[in-house]
Amino acid sequence: MAKILAVDDEAKIRTIIKEYAEFEGYEVAEAADGMEAVEMVKSDDFDIIIMDIMMPRLDGYSACKEIQKIKKIPVIMLSARGEEYDKLFGFEIGIDDYMVKPFSPKELMARVRAVLNRAKASRTTEDIIKYQGLEINFTAREVKIDGEKVSMTPKEYDLLFYLVRNMNIALSREKLLEEVWGFDFYGDDRTIDTHIKMLRNSLGPYRNLIVTLRGMGYKFEKIQ
């Protein structure tokens, strides 16, 4: 049974999440603000966090950054603001999905399942791929260059691992959005292009392994 941490300063929102999540068979814990969420993560294990952005004491973005220092837990962010900037900023700091309030509880549960399935798939992959000084470890969810661990956001890892698992296959931007962000993520080409740029920067001397297919998308070149 997966355990969810619902973080929102509105008790009504937490109650809605709890009722629908428990109906789906999940265990749910609640936190009223970001500070409380960080403290709970220190003492308990959660499979996914659903967190509001605008909260007292510690906002959702700041709480997400602090939590990442403690444990790697998937995060779905909730916000009354739906501007593209807010979404892209969230993905850049490592969230897994973003929903705009007011939201459909049923859609939220569908996104929870999608994020948990992606997290499970990444944990069950046992391959380690090496190419010159580049090492990609799916099991440990690590990337190393010349023995040094590369720091990436969770979404960078997801995108890289999907590209590598589909090595030498042309992948459209729409396909990447669907498979890496989820079937119902309302993003556009700029979301993919921004994360590809971030990922290439992280890969440094191996950035050229990600090939741009003009007018179409990207592919990860086959490693000999």
Distance CA 128, CA 186 (A): 32
Beta bridge partners of residue 49, listed in sequence order: 5, 75
pLDDT at 186: 56
pLDDT at 224: 57
CB 4 within 8 A of CB 49: yes
Report the run of H or E that residue 49 belongs to, with start and end. strand 48-52
β-pairing, 128-131 vs 75-79, is unpaired
pLDDT at 21: 96
Distance CA 212, CA 210 (A): 7
β-pairing, 148-149 vs 142-145, is antiparallel
pLDDT at 7: 97
pLDDT at 148: 93
pLDDT at 187: 56
pLDDT at 121: 65
pLDDT at 67: 92
Structural tokens at position 185: 């993520």
Domains of the chain in sequence order: 3-123 (3.40.50.2300), 128-220 (1.10.10.10)
Give the chain's residues under pLDDT 50.
none
pLDDT at 60: 92
Q: State the burial class of residue 106 (Cβ atoms within 10 Å of its Cβ: 0-12, 13-18, 19+).
A: exposed
Beta bridge partners of residue 131, listed in sequence order: 134
The neighbour count for residue 179, using CB atoms within 10 Å, is 16
pLDDT at 189: 66
